[in-house]
Chains A and B, each alone.
Chain A
Amino acid sequence: MKYTIRQYGMFVIALLITAVFLFPIYWMITTSVKPIQDVFATPPMIFPETIQFKAYIKNIVEDQSILLYLKNSLIIAIGTSLLTLLLALPAAYAMARFRLKGSGIFLLILLVTQMVPGIMTAMPLFILFSHFNLLNSYVALIIGNTTLALPFAILIMRPFFLSIPRGLEDAAVIDGCNRFTAFVKVVLPLTKPTLLTVGTFSFLFAWGDLIFALTLATDEKIRPLTMGLTKFIGQYGTQWDGLMAVSTIAAAPIIIMFILLQKYIVSGITAGSEK
């Protein structure tokens, strides 16, 4: 494709907008690899002169507490993805395929609950879980995060199932499948892009969660990285290199997943707002 000079001009403007916009993320990463005296240099060093990984070594190798936070974040985020898919997939399918009484109301409930702030559900869940001795468990955090991911998941999966031609499963049923095996054998293989979109989003929601980590887990042993970060803020208020190193570690999975799954993330955001 040939571009005009005007279009290359727009390319430069786009580059500038992106640079200004992503500067905070750039600043986080470069701060984490600068020697401490360069971190506090005046004028601020936009391009790092020396690159070193002391802050990382100090916070991963010497002090290993962050590894536990990382493990917890992974368990909670993967658990949330799986639980969300497990609940949303059949529900969205059934709502798209069958005439179910009350499914309109269910859809309405999902729309409204999606709008309720997580912090509003935190207190009742805290009391509920305290009755069942579930506070400070992965289960509590996974359930908490699933309350945020589930409405989104069903709302973007249902239109997807509506777009799959019905004849496919009918043919499978004629060939001797029942509704369930038709779903598993014929429909599921087609849903890969949607599964990826929903899985990624639920993972990212849970990975970034602070509200449930803060309220449903008081035990350091199961707290995720987001809470680990707040501890760093209190403890080393001025040690910006360490804080930025931990922030970069916490942001890394997001950045990697984002680069790998861009297409699915963009389609998820637009689909989520349309329904």
Chain B
Amino acid sequence: MEADTRVESNRKVSVGLQFGPFLKKSLPKYLFIIPAFLFVVIFMLYPIFYNIFISFQDVTIMNLKGDKSFIGVENYRQIFQDERFLLSLKNTVIYTVSCIVFQLSIGFLLALFFNQQFPMRNFFRSILLLAWMTPLVITGTLFKWLYDVDYGVLNYLLIQIGLISEPINWLGQQSTALMAIIVTNIWIGIPFNMILLLSALQALPSDVYEAAKIDGASRIQSFFKITLPLMKPATLVVLVLGIIYTFKVFDIILIMTGGGPVNATQVLPFFGYELAFVNFKFSLSGAVATIILVILTVISLIYLYLIRKEESM
């Protein structure tokens, strides 16, 4: 009994001793990180969870400040039955896949080209990034002008080359609108892909190439046997980053077509936006946001798995 109380009081003393130093030594360290942490929790994590939460409720502009009722998966049922949802999912997938395929392959070819030595190489390399840095609103406006049916440069050039015989209303008709937006985004994304792949190319060990040269390997052989395998991890990371960024498409849709004509360019983020800010059906928008979140989580997990795998190599 006596021994117990002694242990107890000892513990109290030691807790007191530990807490004092904690305040003095550890707390200042946490003070550095607390503001950013709070910001992330309130303005970034809370919205994500709010989307999930609200997707099981019935919230519109009418009852935003009043009582809300839980309605389970009713919103999801409604979303899945909406033909615009399947259409926008389909368009998002078509858009993402075709953008990535072209951005990555053209970006890779350009990276190989700009990896060679020639005058003003560094200048060309970075000036191309201007295409990527330009705000999407401006890029969208610019391409709208290039695509213009009456005065657009694109139609003029295509007619001159003889590919088409009369001007095409690229953004104004269902059959070509999505493709026109895809081409725009490929243009935007190529420099980004190029610069990332280029920095990976420059990090490749040069002695491997020298050894291969001594062994009599041709340039083509060393490209397929050395460059491609060594570039695989970097390419995979660029691929996943590209998917995530492309999936977010919103600005250029809003500027160039507004989802039309007749939903031809409707994509998931734009569908979610319209539900919340045009129709004021917040819960339905939350459901779309949650579906996007699930898809992106899967992609993010692949990304994290890839960088972990790369780090362990």
User: Chain A: residues with CB nearer than 8 A to chain B?
Assistant: 3, 7-8, 10-11, 13-15, 17-18, 21-22, 24-25, 27-28, 31, 39-40, 42-44, 86-88, 90-91, 93-95, 98, 100, 103, 106, 108-113, 115-128, 130-131, 143-144, 146-147, 150-151, 154, 178-180, 204, 207-211, 214-215, 226, 229-230, 233, 240, 243-244, 247, 250-251, 254-255, 258, 262, 265-266, 269-270, 273
Interface centre among B39, B117, B129, B238 (most CB of A within 10 A): B39
Instruction: Please list 9 pairs of residues, one from A and one from B, whose beta carbons are closer than 8 Å in the complex, sorted by A's number.
Output: A14-B124, A94-B32, A113-B40, A115-B296, A115-B303, A150-B44, A178-B28, A226-B137, A269-B192
Contacts A22-B127, A247-B142 given; does A39 touch B151 at CB 8 Å: yes
Q: Tell me the smallest distance from the CB of B23 to a CB of chain A, in Å.
A: 14
A24-B157 Cα distance, complex, nearest whole Å: 14
Question: Interface residue tally of chain B, by bracket?
Answer: 35 or more
A173-B46 Cα distance, complex, nearest whole Å: 38
Contacts A24-B139, A210-B136 given; does A111 touch B118 at CB 8 Å: no
Contacts A44-B151, A211-B251, A269-B196 given; does A93 touch B238 at CB 8 Å: no
Contacts A117-B269, A127-B282, A226-B135 given; does A91 touch B37 at CB 8 Å: yes
A109-B156 Cα distance, complex, nearest whole Å: 49
Chain A hits for B125, CB < 8 A: 266
Contact A230 B39 (CB under 8 A): no
Contact A27 B145 (CB under 8 A): yes
Q: Tell me the smallest distance from the CB of A32 to a CB of chain B, in Å.
A: 11
A contacts with B: majority SS? helix
Contact A143 B33 (CB under 8 A): no
8 additional A-B pairs beyond A8-B118, A120-B289, A210-B255, beta carbons within 8 Å, are A7-B118, A18-B124, A21-B131, A40-B151, A112-B300, A179-B29, A243-B141, A251-B134
A266-B133 Cα distance, complex, nearest whole Å: 11
- Going nearest first, the 7 A-B pairs with the smallest beta carbon separation are A208-B135, A94-B32, A124-B47, A91-B36, A117-B248, A90-B32, A10-B118
- Decide yes or no whether B250 CB sits under 8 A from chain A: yes
Contacts A28-B142, A150-B39 given; does A269 touch B129 at CB 8 Å: yes
A8-B116 Cα distance, complex, nearest whole Å: 12
